[in-house]
């Protein structure tokens, strides 16, 4: 838990940190999800110019055909929780020592023990960390709002139907520490939920909450699952962190079966309070202009939001990616100051002004 601060205060909470339902956090901080953002940044841009082995790459020597729905290599020993992922997953081996080097992390090696180098914010005049390094940094915490997670889980449970009829495979892509999936689990009883994240640090924490976790990168052809392997994908608070959201949605569409469900959530650029803040000349909540520091609004911690969506833009974008949009709903933001929470809950009735956007789409 973090201490909490209302907008306008000199202090700000850590970005994306879990809070109780009654805890107020800096409204500029959303849930940070490492999976897509870190891998997407490296896979699409390799901004720091380094080179090396790319994680998540499938080689023919390592793969075998599964007669079921998956194609699998050897499960990642660090990431696997002991649950059998072989029927749907294709994963790669890390180095034999459990230590890996990643091309996108400049000079940084993270080890299989969960230890590693923390990377504080750079001093003025120095180069900011790359996105991959930023999201692998264990000092950047992961959190979720329970209200949002529960609303999203209810939408998914209604779409999937009873597990007794047909247990579904649900991938929580960008699972972080597994908090959101664990919150949703009581509503998804009987369905198989697998957490997917790029960060091994996050996966070790997620393993305590989820029955199965797999390490994977969110880039075209790089998730460790066969095409059509999943019945549903949870994609919670990830898309706002991505350099290439187009490629990300293409990859999610690949791993979904025909008619499979995408449950996506993201902060709303046009939230009711952001409309007022823009009129006052204040940087909107959730938005950032730098990886070094927060500018133009209260707060100190950077969470790495690269883009934000309105309800209309999100609907059009997902539809243009080949999905059939079923519904866009609203959810409250756990960081809204206590006096404004009743209004924030009321705003959920009109998704275009709600704090959080919840989108349900299907693969056509």
Helix (H, G, I), strand (E, B) or coil at 265: strand
Write down the pLDDT at residue 300. 81
From first to last of its 364 residues, the chain has per-residue pLDDT tens of 433 334 444 444 443 333 343 333 344 433 334 444 555 544 444 434 433 333 333 333 333 333 233 444 333 434 444 334 445 655 443 323 332 323 222 222 222 223 233 334 444 444 455 666 766 666 665 555 788 999 999 999 999 998 878 899 999 999 999 998 998 999 999 999 999 998 888 899 999 999 899 999 999 999 999 999 999 999 999 999 999 999 999 999 999 999 999 999 999 999 999 999 999 999 999 999 998 889 999 888 788 899 999 999 999 999 999 999 999 999 999 889 999 999 999 999 999 999 999 999 999 9
Write down the pLDDT at residue 262. 99
Task: Walk me through the domains of the chain, giving residue ranges and CATH numbers.
Answer: 142-363 (3.40.50.150)
How far is residue 247 from each of residues 70, 113, 252, measured CA to CA in Å?
Answer: 22, 31, 9
Entry pTM: 0.69
Helix (H, G, I), strand (E, B) or coil at 271: coil
Main-chain phi, psi angles of 242, to 5 degrees: -90, 140
Dig out the tokens for 109 from the structure. 């090696």
29 burial level (CB within 10 Å; 0-12, 13-18, 19+) = buried
Is the CB of residue 359 less than 8 Å from the CB of residue 314? yes
Write down the pLDDT at residue 47. 38
Nearest to 242 by CA among 32, 89, 4: 32
Write down the pLDDT at residue 317. 99
């Amino acid at each position: 838990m973090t201490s909490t601060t209302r907008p306008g205060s000199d202090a700000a909470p850590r970005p994306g940190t879990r809070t109780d339902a009654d805890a107020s956090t800096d409204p500029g901080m959303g849930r940070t999800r490492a999976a897509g953002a870190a891998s997407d940044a490296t896979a699409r841009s390799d901004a720091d110019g380094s080179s090396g082995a790319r994680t998540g790459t499938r080689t023919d020597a390592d793969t075998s055909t599964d007669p079921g729905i998956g194609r699998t290599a050897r499960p990642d020993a660090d990431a696997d929780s002991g649950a059998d992922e072989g029927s749907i997953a294709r994963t790669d081996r890390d180095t034999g020592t459990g230590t890996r080097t990643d091309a996108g992390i400049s000079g940084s090696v993270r080890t299989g023990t969960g230890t590693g180098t923390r990377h504080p914010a750079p001093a003025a005049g120095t180069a900011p960390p790359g996105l991959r390094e930023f999201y692998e940094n264990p000092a950047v915490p992961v959190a979720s709002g329970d209200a949002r997670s529960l609303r999203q889980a209810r939408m998914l449970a209604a779409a999937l139907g009873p597990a007794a009829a047909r247990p579904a495979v649900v991938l929580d892509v960008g699972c972080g520490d597994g908090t959101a999936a664990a919150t949703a689990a009581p509503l998804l009883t009987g369905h198989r939920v697998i957490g997917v994240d790029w960060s091994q640090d996050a996966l070790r924490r997620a393993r305590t909450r989820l029955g199965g976790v797999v390490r994977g990168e969110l880039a075209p052809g790089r998730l460790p699952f066969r095409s059509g392997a999943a019945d549903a994908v949870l994609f919670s608070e990830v898309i706002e962190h991505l350099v290439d959201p187009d490629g990300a949605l293409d990859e999610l569409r690949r791993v979904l079966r025909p008619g499979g469900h995408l449950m996506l959530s993201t902060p709303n650029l046009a939230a009711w309070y952001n409309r007022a803040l823009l009129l006052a000349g204040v940087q909107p909540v959730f938005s950032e202009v730098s990886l070094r520091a927060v500018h133009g609004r209260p707060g100190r911690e950077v969470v790495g939001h690269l883009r934000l969506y309105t309800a209309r833009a999100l609907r059009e974008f997902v539809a243009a990616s080949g999905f059939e949009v079923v519904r866009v709903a609203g959810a409250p933001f756990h960081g809204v100051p206590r006096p404004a929470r009743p209004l924030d809950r009321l705003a959920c009735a009109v998704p275009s002004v709600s704090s959080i956007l919840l989108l349900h789409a299907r693969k056509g």
